[in-house]
């Protein structure tokens, strides 16, 4: 009887050991699959890290490697060759992924302005096509229709919307015209060249508008221009609708923004 009992115990132990080994193998396989995903941050700023932590906490329960372009400058293509999915946070990471991503990979670009994503997609269009890389994005900026809806709430009698465009943002004009037409606004705008003095061009628009919409364009806008824009808004008594917390703190009446946590959550939903 003791021998039989011992035999049963041994068999049970062997069975449990086999189950443990099987579970271990499954976990290894899962981790190998998870290792095909890379969370690539443009930098180590709190904003990027907030996006990343939200993606990790609210995304699928898998391990995702995390790195920065600055850590992968040597043998960049080799570093990215292991990853089928690259989640790039910010413009710098997105450009790095498009430049060095492996064949048949997917780039999920997040926390990036739409115009910047379009510019990078055009810049690396040949490589993206040759490598059969799929790209998609979660944009930092709000849809134009939503911004104009906010403008109408700020100024219910809004008839003429003022703004300026630059070399990068002029592609937004068709969408602006369509959204304004749908909402019954007329547009009062100028397209600025790199050689223009933006302050001189903005003042006449500000004086002849019911509300001024700030459209970011790094080629024509800087901190000095932003300060003058706020001053002209105050002097002309024209509300300023901006795109960041800092603008609102400085005097803009409102801003249509997306928080890093929002971006992280939307990105996690795509995984």
pLDDT of residue 24: 42
Cβ-contact 242, 254 below 8 angstroms: yes
Of 152, 144, 164, 143, nearest to 226 by C-alpha is: 164
Cβ-contact 262, 139 below 8 angstroms: no
Same domain for 44 and 29: no
Query: What are 163's two structure tokens?
Result: 């703004």
Same domain for 163 and 246: yes
Same domain for 170 and 129: no
Same domain for 44 and 60: yes
pLDDT of residue 252: 94
Same domain for 245 and 148: yes
pLDDT of residue 17: 43
Query: Which residue has tokens 């372009």?
Result: 69
Same domain for 117 and 132: yes
Radius of gyration of the chain (CA): 26
**Mean pLDDT, each 10-residue run in order, the chain (271 residues):** 40 43 40 69 95 94 90 93 96 98 97 93 98 96 92 94 92 92 93 87 94 88 87 94 91 92 95 87
DSSP for 48-110, please give it. Answer: HHHHHHHHHHHS-SS--EEE-GGG--TTHHHHHTT-SEEEEESHHHHHHHHHHPPTT-EEEEE
pLDDT of residue 245: 87
pLDDT of residue 233: 94
Neighbours of 64 (CB within 10 A): 19
For the domain that residue 167 is a member of, what is the CATH number?
3.40.50.2300
Same domain for 116 and 156: no
pLDDT of residue 147: 93
pLDDT of residue 4: 41
pLDDT of residue 5: 38
Number of domains comprising the chain? 3
pLDDT of residue 194: 83
Same domain for 118 and 54: yes
Domain of 22 in residue numbering reads as: 1-34
pLDDT of residue 55: 96
Same domain for 208 and 130: no
Cβ-contact 156, 182 below 8 angstroms: no
For the domain that residue 102 is a member of, what is the CATH number?
3.40.50
Same domain for 107 and 60: yes
Query: Could you give the CA distance from residue 140 to residue 42 in angstroms, rounded to a whole number?
Result: 14
Same domain for 158 and 247: yes
The dihedral built from the CA positions of residue 200, 204, 207 and 210, taken in this order, carries a sign that is negative
pLDDT of residue 229: 92
pLDDT of residue 8: 37
Same domain for 66 and 116: yes
């Amino acid at each position: 009887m003791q021998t039989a009992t011992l035999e049963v115990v041994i068999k049970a132990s062997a069975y449990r050991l086999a189950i443990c080994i099987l579970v271990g193998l499954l976990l290894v396989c899962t981790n190998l699959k998870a290792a095909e995903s890379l969370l690539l941050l443009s930098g180590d700023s709190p904003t990027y890290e907030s996006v990343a932590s939200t993606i990790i906490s609210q995304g699928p329960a898998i391990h995702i490697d995390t790195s920065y372009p600055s850590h992968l400058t040597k043998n960049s293509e080799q570093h990215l060759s292991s990853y089928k999915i690259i989640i790039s946070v910010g413009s710098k990471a997105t450009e790095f992924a498009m430049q060095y991503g492996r064949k048949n990979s997917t780039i999920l670009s997040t926390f990036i302005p739409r115009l910047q994503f379009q510019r990078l997609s055009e810049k690396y269009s040949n490589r993206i096509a040759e490598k059969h890389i799929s790209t998609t994005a979660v944009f930092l900026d709000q849809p134009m229709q939503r911004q104009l809806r906010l403008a109408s709430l700020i100024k219910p009698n809004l008839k003429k919307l003022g703004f300026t465009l630059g070399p990068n943002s002029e592609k937004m004009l068709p969408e602006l015209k369509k959204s304004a037409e749908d909402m019954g606004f007329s547009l009062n705008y100028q397209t600025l060249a790199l050689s223009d003095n933006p302050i001189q061009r903005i003042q006449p628009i500000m004086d002849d508008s019911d509300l001024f919409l700030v459209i970011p364009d790094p080629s024509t806008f800087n901190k000095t221009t932003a300060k003058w824009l706020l001053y002209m808004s105050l002097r002309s008594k024209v509300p300023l609708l901006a795109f960041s917390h800092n603008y609102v703190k400085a005097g803009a009446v409102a801003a249509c923004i997306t928080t890093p946590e929002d971006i992280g959550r939307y990105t996690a939903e795509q995984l």
